[in-house]
Amino acid sequence: QVQLAESGGGSVQAGGSLRLSCAASGRTFSSRVMAWFRQAPGKERTVVAHIIWSNSDITYYAPSVKGRFTISRDNTKNTVYLQMNSLKPEDTAVYYCANMPQGSSSYDYWGQGTQVTVSS
């Protein structure tokens, strides 16, 4: 089992920045991929970015956030970060951290989510 706890959400004006954190506990050594998803009201949950736990050089970004968001991880703290710059109103959503364990092809563990609101 892996437990995930997000923090760092809040309200900012367009053009501002926020940094989300996801602290993992439990069987973190079995992590394969860590990801950030988001879900806006009335829309599906979509992936924002992901990072390979064993190799932080391997990352993916959704086209809508590439160049503005940066995912990173600190293995010593079992924490994944999402640095969000140049925020836009369309970035407003609940952001979720997710974990894909070794041997799995799906995100089996999820955090409770943190709200990000960007005003124009």
Summarize pLDDT for 34-85 with one digit per residue, the tens. Answer: 999 999 999 999 999 999 988 888 999 999 999 999 999 998 899 999 999 9
Residue partners of 69: CB distance under 8 A and separation at least 6 = 48, 49, 61, 82, 83, 84, 85
Spatial contact of 116 and 36, defined as CB atoms under 8 Å apart: no
What band does 6 get if pLDDT is binned at 50, 70 and 90?
very high
Residue 108 to residue 113: CA distance in whole angstroms: 15
Q: Give whichever of 10-19, 48-57, 97-106 has the largest mean pLDDT.
A: 10-19
Can you tell me whether residue 13 is helix, strand or coil?
strand
Residue 109 to residue 101: CA distance in whole angstroms: 8
